Structure formats: C-alpha cells, structure tokens
C-alpha cells in the first residue's frame, strides 16, 4: 500500500519514560520532514477538528547500540529522512540546547539512543536489519 516505510529504533535498555520520550520526539521529526505524508485532520462526531496524523504506520524497534549505528550509517548512505536523539539530549531543556548537544557529537558515531528513518521500503529494511520490533 505504501512505497515508503517509517521505522523508529530506540535503545533497548533505556528507562520506559526515556523510550516513550525519544519515540515521541523522533516521530515529530519524521512528521515535520514529510508534510506530504500527513493525513487529513480528524473530526469527531460533534464536528470538532483534531490534528492530522502521519498517514502511514510507524514501526517501533528495540535496538542495540550497533543497530542504531548501522541504521545511522545506512540512513546517510541511502539519503533517508532521519531524525536523531542522542544521550546528551536527556540533560537539556529546549530545542536549541538539543541541537547544540547533537552538534557536539562525533559526526560519524554519535551516542545515539534513538533514530527514526523514512524512505523507500527496501532502503529502510536494509537500515533496520537485525533490530526487533519493540514489544
């Protein structure tokens, strides 16, 4: 049904609140980078409008550090849409500080705790190979 795929990989040994936080931030990154993938606004039975959601499923995977680094590398090689979250961002309090924390990371091996990818199914599948669906 979709030519593209969205996958979110989250470090498996994070605390539950951290996994949820990282997943939420990464999902907004993909949605912001892919406005064409957004569905129409929702309307309830009373006629009230609610925000649009991404129009395709997002799969969430439990990842090892090696899974995250491989996804990062292949995401760059295949020019996939990427949103990233590094460990240092847990100690910041706003977007500018988050961007500064990411900028301070090694360019080829940031300390990732999560990454989201969107692109052609075959390219995303290659990037997430080995990661297991989060249960």
pLDDT tens profile 66-103: 999 999 999 999 999 999 999 999 999 999 999 999 99
What is the value of pTM for the model shown?
Answer: 0.94
| The pLDDT of residue 97 | 97
Q: Please report the beta strands in the chain, taking only residues with DSSP state E, as ranges in sequence order.
A: 4-11, 42-43, 49-50, 58-63, 81-86, 112-120, 132-133
The whole-number average pLDDT for the span 9-32 is 97
| The pLDDT of residue 1 | 81
Residue at 93 is within a domain? yes
The whole-number average pLDDT for the span 35-56 is 95
Q: What span, in angstroms and rounded, lies between the C-alpha atoms of 63 and 48?
A: 39
Q: What CATH number does residue 99 fall under?
A: 3.40.1490.10
Structurally, the chain folds into a number of domains equal to 1
The whole-number average pLDDT for the span 120-125 is 97
**For residue 112, what are the domain limits?**
4-34+51-133
Residue at 13 is within a domain? yes
């Amino acid at each position: 049904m979709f030519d593209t795929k969205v996958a979110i990989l989250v470090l498996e040994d994070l605390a539950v609140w951290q996994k949820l936080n990282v997943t939420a931030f990464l999902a907004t990154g993909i949605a912001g980078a892919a406005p064409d993938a957004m569905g129409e606004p929702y309307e309830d039975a009373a006629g009230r409008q609610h925000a649009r959601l991404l129009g395709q499923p997002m799969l969430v995977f439990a990842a090892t550090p090696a899974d995250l680094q491989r996804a990062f590398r292949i995401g760059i090689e295949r020019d996939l849409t990427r949103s990233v979250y590094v460990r240092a961002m847990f100690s910041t309090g706003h977007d500018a500080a988050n961007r500064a924390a990411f900028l301070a990371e090694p360019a080829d091996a940031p300390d990732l705790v999560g990454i989201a990818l969107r692109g052609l199914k075959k390219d995303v599948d290659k990037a997430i190979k080995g990661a297991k669906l989060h249960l």
